[in-house]
Structure 1
């Protein structure tokens, strides 16, 4: 069955079941399906054809969900785009994906206008007015609430998911309906999701984790969806308490912000059955504090890649009890290995490249045959992540290949040092990078954000690290920043930190 068919099936089987709440707009499954069909038939009337690419440039909302399923039902291909990107970055994705149409929040109309310059992309605006030749969402809705007259198969393409682009231009990972169904199925099995789940959508829906793992999986189940347009820690805690949320997924930074709410212990969070985290490493100390705050040990580390849908490895609650700090084991429908350059499995405890194989792996990088060939070899996805595997088969990701630091001939993996930094009581956020050094080749450098009101003596932090790390891993330089640059999925943009700290270092040398 294609992805849109699951929504239609739920509308037939339990049309009065509650489906979605967003900013007071609520839908049953019957109402949601009719709203999707009105948009789907409206898109057909506009001339959108099966296989054409339609972009979404929106914050989280019921309209995002409606748009996604409408595009899926007519056999077009959804291209979710990060709404924080600049017009030039958006234009690249529009052009590279061959998008013919974009559905856009009114607040981003100007960005989309600039991004469309020189393209044939048409825009539909969610709002009361539309300028610059754009169309209004309400004006293109069809009166036809029936299923669109398009035959969609599970082998038809469904999504182009663009990588986070932490090191350069993003690449579009292409998936069909069957692969995305398998992605959702892995969550249903790995996290034992049930039909009475109440999902709180905090992370961006344009990101593959929130979209494929939980929005689509939740619709397949017929669960309840509570969608927040923007993340605010207090509002999130209030929603868990008010709506008796059972399933929470958030990136580590969101957990960190929720734990900083002064009266977090006063909220009734007892409805939570399980908590998932992913998209970026979550320090063990933050996991421990989150387990205490949410009063449940049912935590899951979801360590996946966009190119896998996202999929990969996960650490279940038992793994948290016995192996906190490790990334986990391969989940349902997935195989995982750690290999040397020659493709042979590494010895336990040795660092190699993390590779994946399974039902959820992308078909290709869209229109990038050379990059596809480099990533997909003999059925395996070569991730570019460095990892080790212990004798029990637990994998621990230690760094990206491009982020590994070589200092004095020794390999330093940033994740290992960052875990120690997070144990320091003054530090709220932290990143380890390498900076050029005449003596050591690269100097291990810490960039940290302090908790509110906290003070930090740099030498004291170095001594703190020296007690827990080999000397060559201890930061030689420390920078204190107000915040760290992150992409929408929570990953720290280390190339930006390297550029900024390099510039600061050069300024210091020029002054001397």
Structure 2
């Protein structure tokens, strides 16, 4: 395992190497990392910063600043300083922001853990990142204690819903009013390690710098209209970049208000969106929450008129989802990003949302993007290739994984693994993940296109296409479908629907009916699990 010192040396080497291939340097070491919360606490101490609906508490910037100082003082008391790691295993709550910004004050690194993973899966991540302290929800106490035994974690600290007798709140009370210190940091220092969902192989810890967080706040803040009056509803898990950085961190950078729900529920989310007292102006989600909300009986009557920006990303969004929200007067503004890009790279201006439905937009101000063919050259208009991105918002690499870092980059360009095209106006379209593409009869097939067609069937609640082996064509498509309550669907109906809408080689060869599609914590369909179920296990189709 690479030591932190060796890791730092490697990161510096990659940054230096990247700068040699570019007309401008990629390092930002001379830029200091400023304290956003301390600034707003001084400028607008009584402005609401966090509204935690899960615990029923609200916090002004002054109150949030005081909590962060107390947590930083606690970290100092147990010897956590520059470069040390602090793990978080919890559902959404204000504690994520306490710890993130307290780590920033100490120069420590926050490791955000997916609360849906098993102890075995978390054991690998914790052994890889070696946190000194693990902060956890009380509901995860058994898992935390087992992980402490397996991974030699120094300290545990339990969150108990914000109650005064919670160990976490007792620590804040004990250090209330104390100064945890301020590390001398730059934009190149790490603030977070976020582990990828591990769609192939073991999870990789994407290293997130202070500079990445800053440039993401600028990249998203300007086109997203984020400012002092923004009230953002966070429905995604805060251990994920979509929850933390779209748009929660940019809103706190701008001095707005972040409203947190403990976990997404379609009916409760619609209730919050429609409540004038909440005043929600912004929301961001992957396609699944929008799909589940539009299928909820309250969707048609919910007042959505206060929403200014409803962002969607993280996975291809079916056209039927976008069209349904358009009909309610809410354009779903698409964008492209990934954990390694902090995450915003491409953004569709709301003014183009209807005209360019299906596009992820144009490259953001402080990012570069290109679509590259198999020979490493730039693709022409509407030619499909791999999306590559570069800029100050791109990760320096993967924690303890110099091999994975080298494989992910071509000079200063991060190879995203996404198939994309650019139209003649410069708008980007994400076609699909390269790994989800399959080849049938020599033709490339991108599942997202077929899934869009399947969603047009009124019986379909969820749909996913995977390639399965076929003696004649190499691979053919299997449509895995979850039906709406009371609906029935057979193979012939699906084929008949697709015949007039898709080329013959794209039409699914068979269908399988399931109760629900497997998804990760952010709502992305786990196609690897579908392949395990229907390809690796050679399971029979249900037609």
Interval containing the TM-score (normalised by the shorter chain): over 0.9
Question: Could you say what secondary structure the match of 2:306 adopts?
Answer: coil
Question: Could you say what secondary structure the match of 1:111 adopts?
Answer: helix
Unaligned runs of 5+ in 2: 1-30
Per-residue deviation, residues 306-342 of structure 1 (Å, max 9, x unmatched) = 1111122222223322221223221121111111122
1:351, distance to aligned residue in structure 2 (A): 1.8
Are 1:13 and 2:13 an aligned pair?
no
- Aligned partner of 1:132 in structure 2 is none
Per-residue deviation, residues 179-200 of structure 1 (Å, max 9, x unmatched) = 2111111111121212111111
Are 1:274 and 2:306 an aligned pair?
no
- Aligned partner of 1:344 in structure 2 is 377
Match of 1:246 among 263, 270, 281: 281
> Contact between 1:91 and 1:116, CA under 8 Å: does it hold in 2?
no
The normalised TM-score by structure 1 is 0.94
Question: Could you say what secondary structure the match of 1:261 adopts?
Answer: coil
**Structure 1 residues 128 and 234, CA gap change in structure 2 (3 angstroms):** closer
- Aligned partner of 2:503 in structure 1 is 470
Please give the root-mean-square deviation of Cα atoms over the aligned residues, in Å. 2.0
Equivalent residue runs for 1:371-386 within 5 Å: 371-386=404-419
Counterparts of 2:216 and 2:106 in 1: how far apart (Å)?
21
Deviates more, 1:146-155 or 1:402-411: 146-155
- Aligned partner of 2:25 in structure 1 is none
Question: Could you say what secondary structure the match of 2:126 adopts?
Answer: helix
Q: How many residue pairs get matched?
A: 502
> Contact between 2:512 and 2:541, CA under 8 Å: does it hold in 1?
no
- Aligned partner of 2:235 in structure 1 is 202
1:463, distance to aligned residue in structure 2 (A): 1.0
Match of 1:47 among 79, 82, 105: 79
Are 1:334 and 2:364 an aligned pair?
no
Equivalent residue runs for 1:39-188 within 5 Å: 39-121=71-153, 122-127=155-160, 136-141=167-172, 142-154=174-186, 155-188=188-221
1:117, distance to aligned residue in structure 2 (A): 3.0
Are 1:354 and 2:370 an aligned pair?
no
Unaligned runs of 5+ in 1: 130-134
Counterparts of 2:536 and 2:373 in 1: how far apart (Å)?
35
Question: Could you say what secondary structure the match of 1:190 adopts?
Answer: coil
> Contact between 1:337 and 1:355, CA under 8 Å: does it hold in 2?
yes
The normalised TM-score by structure 2 is 0.89
1:157, distance to aligned residue in structure 2 (A): 1.2
> Contact between 2:159 and 2:167, CA under 8 Å: does it hold in 1?
yes
- Aligned partner of 2:484 in structure 1 is 451
Counterparts of 1:98 and 1:414 in 2: how far apart (Å)?
38
Counterparts of 1:24 and 1:365 in 2: how far apart (Å)?
37
Per-residue deviation, residues 392-446 of structure 1 (Å, max 9, x unmatched) = 2222222222221111111111111111111111111111101111121112111
> Contact between 2:367 and 2:392, CA under 8 Å: does it hold in 1?
yes
> Contact between 2:105 and 2:181, CA under 8 Å: does it hold in 1?
no
Question: Could you say what secondary structure the match of 1:431 adopts?
Answer: strand
Question: Could you say what secondary structure the match of 1:381 adopts?
Answer: strand
